[in-house]
Amino acid sequence: MESSSMDLWPSVTRNAGPPTPWQRWVRNVRETPSGVLLSVQILLLFIYPFIETEVLGRYARALIGAAALVVIYLAVRVVRATPALTWIAAVLGGPVVLLTIAESIWQDVTPLSFVSALLHALFYFYIAYALIRYMFADNWVTRDELFATGATFTVVVWAYAYVYQTVQFIWPNSFTIHGEGVGMRSWFELLYLSVTTMTNTGLSDIVAVTPHVRSFVMLQMLSGILYVALVVARLVGLTIMRFNR
């Protein structure tokens, strides 16, 4: 029996015909929330330098940070998370968004910045756990799960950047930049350190100089290697098996 247009495109009515480009785009966004998450994270890499130089104003960090966190929360909710996962993400995500906005208003309040960085780190690590659980839920690799491999990697990068921001409040002067000496490092500098550490490229000019911070750097190095060995290798193997059947 021939399939009608309604069977092929369930989102449109029987006499509406094939979907418009806008409908296709909306459907792709709904079907690949991990791809949306990955795109937002990459876009923020280009936006953060403007925030660091205050080109966009003092409230830009709060607006962009809150928007990114909302997108992450929505992505976790869509990727077939259990009610418990969604509940915990909401409990962590709500205060994080509020603290991000508050931090932009009271920028020099150290306790507020410390609590904000700590909750950010916990939230991003939980998002990474939820995405890994989503990818390991079955033995069938979807297009969104392929995007999730990249999204999880960037989420962990963000998580460790917030860890570094947290520990430098506990152990001041933990980081040094070649030619500048020790001191409190900015968010974008710590994100740069996190990216170079997670990818094991070793290209960062920012160096951890205290034992406690070096422990976290070593943990991130191991995280990057184990992620490729356990998560990415598994999805690649399942994808190959799918096409060899």
pLDDT in tens, 166-220: 999 898 888 888 777 777 888 888 999 999 999 888 777 888 888 889 999 999 9
CA atoms of 6 and 14, how far apart (whole Å): 5
CA atoms of 120 and 97, how far apart (whole Å): 9
Residue 9, in any domain of the structure? no
Q: Which of 26-30, 40-44, 80-84, 114-118 has the lowest mean pLDDT?
A: 80-84
Q: Which of 3-17, 18-32, 69-83, 221-235 has the lowest mean pLDDT?
A: 3-17
Q: Which of 137 and 46 is assigned the larger pLDDT?
A: 46
Is 193 exposed, middle or buried, given 0-12, 13-18 or 19+ CB atoms closer than 10 A? buried
Residue 162, in any domain of the structure? yes
Total number of domains in the chain = 1
pLDDT at 53: 62
Residue 205, in any domain of the structure? yes
Q: Smallest Cα–Cα separation from 115: which of 64, 160, 166?
A: 166
Residue 6, in any domain of the structure? no
Residue 104, in any domain of the structure? yes
State the pTM of this model: 0.80
CA atoms of 31 and 34, how far apart (whole Å): 9
Residue 7, in any domain of the structure? no
pLDDT at 3: 42
Residue 201, in any domain of the structure? yes
DSSP 8-class letter at 184: P
pLDDT at 164: 94
pLDDT at 7: 41
The torsion defined by the Cα of 162, 167, 168 and 171, in degrees rounded to 10, comes to: 180
Residue 12, in any domain of the structure? no
pLDDT at 157: 93
Domain that holds residue 48: 19-244
